[in-house]
């Protein structure tokens, strides 16, 4: 990206940035684009939910699941010093030990108390979100009783560690 702000902040070329890790929370939380859907269209459609267990889930390695006595399909609490969220655990034999993975696209209302994965993420505003008025800084869609919930503009799950426990 050749915009002067990207160049000034060293973001013109995508590079690896180390996670904001904490020894108390040993699992690296990562995410990516859903392979079979476009944002929440796939995640909130009643018929399509039949292909994805009906609600939010995270992938865990067999080793991490065994160590925490979590079985495929169990509800889990994912937490760190920032917050917590709950969803279903799904086993992924190809996932390395110490990593949790959740594809994006689930809407906050699909989680208990509207606490999506953003509840455990560092959500500082990146100045690049303001380049050319892209509009990422808009009020979140949430019910009136959740006015205290903060918004994470264009939040990426690549920079945080968590712990997981069976509920």
Domain boundaries, the chain: 20-136+146-166
Token pair belonging to 68: 């925490």
User: Strand locations in 46-132, DSSP E?
Assistant: 57-60, 75-79, 84-91, 99-103
Q: What ranges in 20-128 are assigned the alpha helix state H?
A: 40-44, 46-49, 62-67
pLDDT at 16: 66
149 pLDDT above the threshold of 50:
no
Four-way CATH pick for 20-136+146-166: 2.40.40.20, 3.30.479.10, 3.40.50.410, 3.40.50.1980: 2.40.40.20
Structure tokens at 5: 């702000």
Q: What are the helix and strand counts (H, E) for the chain?
A: 4, 6
The yes-or-no verdict on residue 66 having pLDDT over 70 is yes
Average pLDDT over residues 128-154: 52
Note the pLDDT tens digit of each residue in 122-135. 766 666 666 665 54
Residue with tokens 């979590």: 70
What proportion of the chain, given as a percentage, has pLDDT over 70? 63
| Nearest alpha carbon to residue 167 among 74, 81, 104 | 74
Give 79-88 pLDDT, tens digit per residue: 998 899 999 9
H helical segments located in the chain: 4-8, 40-44, 46-49, 62-67
Mean pLDDT for all residues in the chain: 77
């Amino acid at each position: 990206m050749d915009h002067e702000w990207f160049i000034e902040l060293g973001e013109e070329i995508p590079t690896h940035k180390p996670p904001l890790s904490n020894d108390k929370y040993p699992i690296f939380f990562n995410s990516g684009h859903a392979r079979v859907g476009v944002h929440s269209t796939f995640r909130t459609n009643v018929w399509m939910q039949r292909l994805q267990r009906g609600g939010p889930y995270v992938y865990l390695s067999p080793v991490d699941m065994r160590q925490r006595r979590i079985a495929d399909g169990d509800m889990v609490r994912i937490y760190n010093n920032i917050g917590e969220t709950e969803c279903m655990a799904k086993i992924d034999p190809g996932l390395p030990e110490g990593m949790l993975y959740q594809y994006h696209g689930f809407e906050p209302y699909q989680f208990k108390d509207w606490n999506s994965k953003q509840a455990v993420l560092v959500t500082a505003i990146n100045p690049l979100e303001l380049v050319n008025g892209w509009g990422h800084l808009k009020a979140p869609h949430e019910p009136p009783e959740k006015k205290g919930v903060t918004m994470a503009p264009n939040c990426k799950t690549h920079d945080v560690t968590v712990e997981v426990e069976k509920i």
